[in-house]
Amino acid sequence: MAETPSMTDNLKAALADIQQPPLPDEFYLAPGYLLLAVLILALVGWFIWRLLRQRRRNSARRLALQLLEQINLQQKDAANQILLLLKQYLQTKKPGHSALAMQSAQFVAFLQRSAALDTPPPELDVLLYSPSSDPALIIAWQQYARQWLIKHKELSLYV
C-alpha cells in the first residue's frame, strides 16, 4: 500500500502551478480615482484663480487706503485731498463715471448710496469752502472715506 500512490497525490500531480500575474510597469489607479483627482485639482485651481483675480481687483482699493492714511490731516486742503483720492479711485474703477462730474454734496450722496453706509456723511461743503475747518470734521471725513473704500461693492459703481 505504501507503493501505490494515494488519491491526494494523484490530485496534486494533476494540478497546474499557479502563475503570478505580471506587475504593471507604471502606477495605475482605478478610473474613478483618476476622475476624482482631476476634479479636485480643477476645483483647487479654480479657487486659486478666483483668489488671485479678487486680489488683483482689490489692488486699487488697497492702494487708495494706503494713500488715505498718508494724507496729512493738519494741512489746509486735507479734505480736498481726500475728495480727490476718492474721485481718482472711482476713475480707476470706472472711467468716465457720471459721479466724477458731480458737485461735492451730490458726490457724497452717491458715496452714501453706493455703499449703504450707516454713518452720516460729514458736511463736505463746510470742510472745502470754510476758511478754518474743524479738525474733528476732517477726521470724520477721513473715517467716512475709509469706511466707503472698505464697504463699497464694485457692482454698485456700474449703475
- Tens-place pLDDT, residues 101-147: 888 888 888 888 888 777 888 887 777 777 777 888 888 889 999 99
Q: Does 140 share its domain with 71?
A: yes
Res. 159: pLDDT tops 70: no
Domain count, the chain: 2
What per-residue string of b and e applies to 141-154 under the rule 16 or more CB within 10 Å gives b? bbebbeebbeebee
Q: Does 92 share its domain with 137?
A: yes
Query: Is pTM, for the whole model, over 0.75?
Result: no
In a domain, 9, yes or no: no
Res. 7: pLDDT tops 60: yes
Q: Does 117 share its domain with 87?
A: yes
The string of pLDDT tens digits covering residues 63-82 is: 999 999 998 888 888 888 99
Q: Go through the chain and tell me how many residues it has.
A: 159
Under 8 Å between Cβ of 64 and 149: yes
**DSSP 3-state helix, strand, coil percentages of the chain (rounded to 5)?**
65, 0, 35
Distance between CA atoms of residues 104 and 111, nearest Å: 10
Q: Does 27 share its domain with 45?
A: yes
Q: Does 49 share its domain with 81?
A: no
Q: Does 77 share its domain with 151?
A: yes
Whole-number average pLDDT of the chain: 83
pLDDT at 28: 66
User: What domain range is 146 assigned to?
Assistant: 59-157
pLDDT: is 99 or 15 the higher one?
99
Under 8 Å between Cβ of 148 and 117: yes
Percent of the chain with pLDDT over 70: 89
Q: Does 37 share its domain with 93?
A: no
Q: Does 89 share its domain with 136?
A: yes
Q: Does 51 share its domain with 78?
A: no
